[in-house]
Amino acid sequence: MNTTEIFTSELPVGEKLSIKRTRFEPNEKSKNKTKRISIVSGIHGDELEGQLVIYLLAEWLNNNSDKLKGIVDIYPAVNSLGVDTITRGFPLYEVDLNRTFPGSPNEFLPGQVVFALANDVKGSDIAIDIHSSNIFLREIPQIRINKEFSKSTLPLAKELNCDFIWIHDAVTVLESTFSHTMNSMGTKTLVVEMGVGMRLTKAYGHQLLLGILNLMKKEGIIECKEDFITREAFNSEVGEVFYLNAPKSGLFVPALDHCAIIKKDEKIGDIVDPLTGIIHATLNAPNDGILFTLREYPVVYEGSLIARIFGVNNGKNWNSKNRIIK
């Protein structure tokens, strides 16, 4: 295990910005090409779920160093200033690092940071970029894939033990993200979204750890007798995403648990008025499916996102085993 600074910059009053990477390498070098996987977290400073996953992975690697056959690089806190100040963006510049790639060594400071990260990760066979939701929404563990790169990344995504794989069309903003940059460089890169901002969800952390170990075993990065039992994810290629927004302002009181399998017209929750004791609106599911996004922060305004549901809208029925029944 070796920890290295991948980027450093002097700050005012004698302080220093430092971004670090820890590398785990096999005890014995192989004569064959050694595969390399990079796990990245903290591009957004208020998203901490990935730091727990990286800790759990580092702990496993420390305890199982004899099983490591490839290289594992971990980057727990790319936006270290954002982590320190509990902010999503890069402090002082108010810039979203994940809208700044690929960057340049001659740009402003955020551009230099992302350039250093991309060049350090470059050459990895696989990269996983772990994100949380914001403080307003909770997400089940899911992988988001750009359709442009889905042919090479979808098989990897299916091994990661997530509940949902969301394949989306390319849009301009995605071209300035870490995942688009790395996929364009030839590193197969997956984006994981899970949990909620500024919080840790232990169950999700252990779930994703199991998926990463499963993927690493399938790719020959680790070699062990353990079988990592993983779940089969919902895949957006066989359905569509339905959005549910608040028709009124008020306090959202959910009626369902996150990740519930729901039926069309099933109650998702109420928007209530604490001042008068009345219900402003009752929200019902627009379709059968799985509730993969649910409002976490209860105060809502007209138009606020309440839920996202993945399902089908073609006359077929949805069952609880992730499949369509004809």
Number of domains in the chain: 2
pLDDT, mean of residues 306-318: 70
**Which residues, other chains included, contact 39 with Cβ-Cβ below 8 Å and sequence gap of 6+?**
50, 53, 54, 57, 72, 73, 74, 75, 127, 128, 130, 212
Look at residue 273 and give its three-state secondary structure: strand
308 and 195, same structural domain? no
pTM over 0.85: yes
**24 and 1 Cβ atoms separated by less than 8 Å:** yes
pLDDT of 80-98, one tens digit each? 999 999 999 999 898 999 9
Among 181, 210, 234, identify where a domain stops. 234
- What tens digit of pLDDT does each residue of 259-304 get? 778 999 999 999 999 999 999 999 999 999 999 999 999 999 999 9
pLDDT at 321: 42
Whichever domain contains 310, its CATH number is 2.40.50.100
Residue 319 predicted with pLDDT over 90: no
Contacts of 46 (CB under 8 A, 6+ apart): 82, 86, 87, 88, 132, 134, 135, 197, 198
Q: Do 157 and 273 fall within a single domain?
A: no
Q: Tell whether 316 and 283 lie within a shared domain.
A: yes
Residue 322 has pLDDT above 50, yes or no: no
Between CA 208 and CA 197 the distance in angstroms is 17
- What confidence score (pLDDT) does residue 237 get? 80
**pLDDT on residue 9:** 95
Question: How does pLDDT run across 2-58, given as a tens digit for each residue?
Answer: 999 999 999 988 889 999 999 999 998 877 889 999 999 999 999 999 999 999 999
- Cα–Cα distances in angstroms (integers) from residue 264 to residues 19, 88, 137, 283, in the given order: 47, 35, 21, 11
Give the rounded percent of residues in the chain with a pLDDT score beyond 70: 94
Q: Which residue's structure tokens are 């409002």?
A: 295
Q: Are residue 44 and residue 62 in the same domain, yes or no?
A: yes
Question: Could you count the other beta carbons within 10 Å of the beta carbon of residue 231?
Answer: 14
| 99 and 57 inside one domain | yes
